[in-house]
Amino acid sequence: MAAAGPARILVVEDEFLVALELESILSAGGLEVLGPASTVGAALEIIAGHRPDAAVLDVDLRGESVTPVAVALRRLEVPFVLATAYRADDLPDALRGAVNMGKPVDSRSVVSTLKAMLGASP
């Protein structure tokens, strides 16, 4: 976790209300939100300027796969969870094995899962 403050969590979600809800949940859990980004391009710009500590990714961004963002995060060794209704069998290979929080996201679960990934106490 970042030593100089709360962990920075990138939120990649194309549905405005869902993105706002995630932002609220994460902020209330003591995490700093980067974004939310609603496109792959916007997410990659955020990653280039502000390395996140972890991320919450929606799989389908209005028909665009979040896979390039997942690949960039893995290259940087940034853990991420998925927030999607997709089943594991329906996910692209680059996303398989990631924790899927489902939709709608349970507020306590997403915060505790992210904090556990970062080695912090929930």
Q: What is the pLDDT of residue 121?
A: 55
Q: What is the pLDDT of residue 2?
A: 44
Per-residue pLDDT of the chain (122 residues; tens, 9 = 90+): 445 689 999 999 999 999 999 999 999 999 999 999 999 999 999 999 999 999 999 999 999 999 999 999 999 999 999 999 888 888 888 888 899 998 888 888 999 999 999 986 55
Domain ranges of the chain: 8-114
Q: Say which residue the tokens 């990714």 belong to.
A: 57
Of 12, 34, 33, 25, nearest to 98 by C-alpha is 12
Of 103, 121, 98, nearest to 111 by C-alpha is 121
Tell me the DSSP string of 39-78.
Answer: SHHHHHHHHHHS--SEEEE-SEETTEESHHHHHHHHHTT-
Q: Which helix (H) or strand (E) holds 22?
A: helix 16-28
pTM over 0.95: no
CATH number of the domain located at residue range(s) 8-114 in this protein: 3.40.50.2300
